[in-house]
Amino acid sequence: MSSDALGSLVVTHPFHPLFGERLEVLFERRRGGGRVYVCEGGVLGSVTLPEDATDRGRPAAERPLTYELLAELCALVALLAMTSDG
């Protein structure tokens, strides 16, 4: 398959130096139960990106996982445990 058929992707990982850049996909591989893309990275040469660091991965969660969200989850689990003990 030619790289033209693979198109391009956007780097979505917020700490990647190419964050927000659209890169041409040279080829893709399966690695460690996931998929990685080898892309043309300009001055960096070719770069390998895991799928979840790109716009081809799963979308980000609506709510970030915060201390407050974990506290809410703990309270819910405790409430469910109390009601199931009955």
Per-run averaged pLDDT (10 residues), the chain, 86 residues = 79 92 96 93 91 88 81 92 78
Q: What is the pLDDT of residue 2?
A: 56
Look up the pTM and report it.
0.65
C-alpha–C-alpha distance, residues 16 and 8, integer Å: 17
Instruction: Spell out the residues 6+ positions from residue 3 whose beta carbon is closer than 8 angstroms to its own.
Output: 24, 25, 26, 27
Are 52 and 58 a contacting pair, CB within 8 Å? yes
Domain boundaries along the sequence of the chain = 3-85
